[in-house]
Structure 1
Amino acid sequence: MWILLLKICLLTTLFYSLYHWALRGNTFFRFNRVYLLAGMFIALALPFIPLYYAVPTVSETDLPETAFRIGNIISIEMKVNESVNFSQIGCLIYISGLIVLLLSRMWTVFRLFRCIRNGSKEVFCGIVSIETPMVQSSFSFLRYIVLPQGIKEVDKNVILAHEETHIRQWHCVDLLLGDIFCIIQWFNPIAWLYKRDLVENHEFLADSNAGNVAGMDVYKETLTRYWLYGTMKSLVNPFAYSTRLMRLSMLKKPSSHGIQKCWTVALVPLLLLYVWIFAVPVSSAEVTDFQQVTLMGKITDETGQKIVAASVFVSRKSFGTISDIDGNYQLSVGKKDTVYVSIAGYEKQKICVSDYAVENGKLMIDVLLQSLK
């Protein structure tokens, strides 16, 4: 799990860094929206795709029969009883964070629908406008536009034009995906900055449309007067979202040249860097067979004596394990692997996994070692 989260965080950082450096200050807002959404999908999906690169197969005869070496030959997996299991503590903290954020979002949705239910409603073009004293600043959610009571009619028309853009372009779906994105990696500050930029780009889109409808001068005045935070902004598009100077400068900025979009080709070396970091070396034989089998059993000698610390290994894959105090062993192997069992003073035994019938991904084989005469 931790490797997956690390990959998601790294990809999030790569997409966020490129956006902030090359795209954020430009006026092609629809392109930026697609970029940000694509970045979220790739960051969440790519870590689940296994990455491999082939290495030459190590000859099984190259492995010494009596000893292991850590490195090119084999690494041994051993189970150790730890007084403090930091992995479990980390999982507990991570899950606690998920639960807290999910409960927070449930409370936000409850408050949103309470505002919608208690306000005075007006329907226009399939959109519901609601005025309520429960909010200080307007925002949109799904097909609802929530406004504070007592707002001036001229300002109301400007705000409705702004919030209608959010609804028509389904920005609420982006916000839901962004919230899921942040909850999954709640410990990563870059994820929250990423969502902030996604919301900011929504405001650029709505500002541009509302400014054309109401007139730029009128719109700027309304935007300045109502510069307050909404009270439930995690799942909504608040009219008075922050980054004040950025929004005002974008309203005055001339259209950016499309050549700036070419900076997205920088994603190619960044993603290649990701592949280089996380690709796993496998032999050419492994590339064609990734289906795993859990091989387990007990190792004894001719007299029925349990053999402790017998080596169980797959030489060409460079990994293995040893039998425990009761002579039991367990190892995850491929369906076409050849497994060796050896210990000093006994003949080495060979197990061809493909010679046995596998049930539910498990294979039970007890091994009898013959002593050397």
Structure 2
Amino acid sequence: MLDNKMMEWLIYLLKVTACTALFFGFYLLFLRKLTFFKINRFYLLGTLLLSFIIPVLQFEIMRETVVTEIQDSANVPELKSFNAIPVPLVQPVMLEYDRQAKPEINWPAIVYAVYVGIASLLLLIFLWRLLNLLKYTSNYTKNSKGLKLISKSVGFTNCSFFNYVFIDEHNISQPDIAVLLKHEEVHARQFHSADKMMLIIFKCILWFNPIVYLYDKALGQVHEYEADEMTSNAFGNQAYANLLLKLAISRSDMPLIHNFVKNPIKDRIKMLFHSKSKNMKKLMYLLVLPVVAGLFWLFAVQVVYANKLVGLKHEGLPVQDGKILFMGTNSVGSVSGEILPGKIYKTASALYKPRGVKSNKEVLTDTLKPKPVKPKIISYRKMKGDARNQIFYLENAVMEFMNSRLEAGYVEFDHINNKILARNASLKTLDEKNTIKSTLFTFDLNKGSYSVENGEGKTGGNIHDAERKKDLLINLNDKVDYVAKDSVKMSQDKLIVSLFGNAMLSYNGVKLSGSKIVYNKKDNRVLVNDAIMTSGDTKIKADSLIFDIKTKKTKLFGADFNH
């Protein structure tokens, strides 16, 4: 669970990075040279905030795909429900450790720890610099414009932080001080320092993203352009440019402040004499709307497809609100539902296939695919384990699943793939009325398959078919055995077995014998001549009979009665 949250956070940061790259690329291409400094400022701040917001939003759009003239297939498969009660898996305690199993490196956790460590360190540095700055703000004099003046001749000077102005009064003439204070007054009134603090926090969060540093530089330039423009309007472009060049030698690297000459002087002087952008060019800001819409569609919108059926021709399949409803029953209950988005069902020869679906041959029963069977470990005498692959080796183990108890001298339990291999084992019903012993049992509880091997051969089947009969052992015993004295012949496709001379066939407690037996595996029927049928204490003789293995119904001929 923790790994998933870490991965989600890292993926979120990558999405934020992608958004900042597109937004800043748009700024460089279309907006950087415009003289609408206030709009550029809010563009940079707004798109940076949007970059964090868009990946968090989640919207679903339902789309209906229309399917016309659908013909019902006559071979709609029988729906089978699965009512196995899931049992909790007892997590085994490692008694012995396999030294060959090496611990797996959790790379997401390492990356997350490095990210959090660097972000926390940068945040601490920011707080330390802020405290170091605030210690100079205790003593100040206030001027008529509301600025708090602090005389300072070393370190960071001729700069401002909110309405605190650090000024070197001894090395600057009074006329130049008036120009400088006008410049810093613009910074204070426009709350440019709040922008800088916000950018520092963003840089702590996205320290790995080079785009956020370009945002910081661009926003700093916009701040200075805005302050330069308003100051030069009051004192003139030429006089203001001369003061910039004069003070260019005193610079500071304090990131929280607005230094009068911190940003490139050449660019600021060029922008002073740059012709103002025409108001019509403000329409260029509307071009960002397709970028915003594209990022919303990419990161915040999920399209869900639903099939709408038109002109449906069906037999026995009810339709409601343009959706096929299905129902099915079997020996253990009934199931129902509706066609779901993203699935293909065998209801027509031609059917719409959404992108990503494997083929049109997927059938309706895929919707009702049984859940994997979960085993329960009851006890064991000794256990070894492969910690990396989660494979456990148990001696004298007892396990339960599907109303059955497995007792084995040795068990290999593959926890990840949900497979069990049991040697010298017995499988019993929980009431212990039925038991099967074998040298080897294998179970694939995800696929629902099993096999049993002993000295007489090997057999297997499907666990979920067994569950439909509510007893795994019934299914294990459901195999056809046959023998003949004279000969046994098979057809070329091996679907028809012919037994001659004192032939015998047995299935699930029913024994058939006769002079000739023909077993058709395709339709699960058995034809017996000179027949004797035995089931429990019942014994029937007839000239011939037909036994249906699937339904267990029998037709008798030449006896005292015909069925």
The percentage of aligned residue pairs carrying the same residue is: 25
Q: CA deviation at 1:180?
A: 1.8
TM-score by length of 1: 0.71
Q: Is the 8 A contact 1:207 1:251 kept in 2?
A: yes
AA partner of residue 133 (structure 1)? S
CA distance in structure 2 between the partners assigned to 1:188 and 1:16 by the alignment: 12
Matched, 1:32 2:40: yes
Q: Check the 8 A contact 2:17/2:209 in 1, yes or no.
A: yes
Following TM superposition, by how much is the alpha carbon of 1:52 offset from its aligned partner in structure 2, in angstroms?
A: 4.3
The 10-residue stretch of structure 1 (272-281 or 185-194) with the greater mean CA deviation from structure 2: 272-281
Q: How far 1:297 moved relative to its partner?
A: 11
Q: Given residue 217 of structure 1, which amino acid in structure 2 is its aligned partner?
A: Q
Q: Are 1:303 and 2:303 matched, yes or no?
A: no
Paired amino acid for 1:147: I
- Comparing both chains, which one has the higher relative contact order based on Cα–Cα distances under 8 Å and sequence gaps of 6 or more? 1
Q: Aligned equivalents of 1:54 and 1:348: distance in 2?
A: 37
Q: Match for 1:13 among 15, 21, 31? A: 21
1:194 aligns with 2:215: yes
Listed as ranges, the gaps of 5+ residues in structure 2 are 1-8, 66-75, 81-100, 307-339, 342-370, 376-400, 421-445, 450-461, 476-563
Structure 1 unaligned runs (5+)?
66-79, 287-294, 311-320, 326-340, 351-368
Structure with the higher helix share, 1 or 2: 1
Native 8 Å contact 2:142 2:148 kept in 1: yes
Q: What is residue 148 of structure 2 aligned with on the other side?
A: 128
Please state whether the residue corresponding to 2:167 is helix, strand or coil: strand
Greater displacement, 173-182 / 223-232: 223-232
1:263-318 superposed Cα distances (whole Å, 9 cap, x missing partner): 333323323443454454545578xxxxxxxx9995432135599679xxxxxxxx
Q: Which deviates more, 267-276 or 185-194? A: 267-276
Do the aligned partners of 1:165 and 1:209 also contact (CA within 8 Å) in 2?
yes
SS of the residue aligned with 1:249?
helix
| Residues 308/22 of structure 1: CA separation in 2 closer, same or farther (3 Å cut) | same
Task: For 1:55 and 1:3, locate their aligned partners in 2 and report how far apart those are by CA, in whole Å.
Answer: 27
Give the Cα–Cα distance (whole angstroms) in 1 for the partners of residues 128 and 403 of structure 2.
67
Distance in structure 2 (CA, Å) of the matches to 1:40 and 1:21: 17
- Residue matched to 1:358: none
From 122, 135, 148, the counterpart of 1:114? 135
User: Structure 1 residue 137 and structure 2 residue 150: aligned?
Assistant: no
Give how far 1:323 is off: 5.3
Match runs of 1:1-373 below 5 Å: 1-54=9-62, 83-117=104-138, 121-150=141-170, 151-228=172-249, 230-278=251-299, 279-280=301-302, 282=304, 284=306, 299=375, 300-304=401-405, 343-344=448-449, 345-347=462-464, 371=472, 373=475
Change (3 A) 1:46 1:120: same
SS at 2:141's partner residue?
strand
CA offset at residue 227 of structure 1? 1.6
1-side partners of 2:128 and 2:18: how far apart?
A: 31
Larger C-alpha radius of gyration, 1 or 2? 2
Q: Distance in 1 between matches of 2:144 and 2:372?
A: 68
Q: Which moved more, 1:150-159 or 1:295-304?
A: 295-304
Higher relative strand content: 2
Q: Summarize the Cα distance change of 1:241–1:324 in structure 2 as closer, same or farther, 3 Å threshold.
A: farther
Across the aligned residues of Structure 1 and Structure 2, the Cα RMSD in angstroms comes to 3.6
1:75 paired residue number: none
3-state SS of 2:463 partner: coil
From the superposition, tell whether residues 136 and 187 of structure 1 become closer, same or farther in structure 2 (CA, over 3 Å): same
> Is contact 1:115–1:134 with CA below 8 Å preserved after alignment?
no
CA offset digits 1:194-245 (Å, max 9, x no partner): 1111111010110011111222222111111112564353222211122222
